[in-house]
Amino acid sequence: YGYARYIEPRMIEITRHTITNRLIPRGFDNFKIVQFSDTHLSDVFTSGDMNKAAEKINQLKPDLLIFTGDLIDKPHLFNDHQHALAVLKNLE
């Protein structure tokens, strides 16, 4: 429980993959895609934590940013929607 509640929510894992295929046009050389997911905003992973993650994302300077879900845990109980929205709007 301690790992899942206090350690894992603050772990930001960055993995890099190079995709090569003869069918990918040369215009995509050095094209950077950043995918993020599973922020689970809550009292454990706050909008402030999300802001730190957004800063790291922006430092990567993606050409395309993809978010694949699980933004907020219990949205009906989460009270910081406006700050979370502001953080997402600052993603570049």
Give the model's confidence band at 9: pLDDT under 50 very low, under 70 low, under 90 confident, else very high: low
Q: Which two tokens stand for residue 24?
A: 């990918």
Bigger pLDDT: 2 vs 88: 88
Taking the C-alpha atoms of residue 89 and residue 92, their distance in angstroms, rounded to an integer, is 8
Distances (CA, A) of 24 to 10, 15, 16, 31, 61: 35, 21, 18, 11, 21
Q: Is 87 exposed, middle or buried (0-12, 13-18, 19+ CB in 10 A)?
A: buried
First to last CA, the chain: 34
The pLDDT > 70 percentage for the chain reads 93
State pLDDT tens for residues 27-48: 999 999 999 988 888 888 888 8
Give the model's confidence band at 86: pLDDT under 50 very low, under 70 low, under 90 confident, else very high: very high
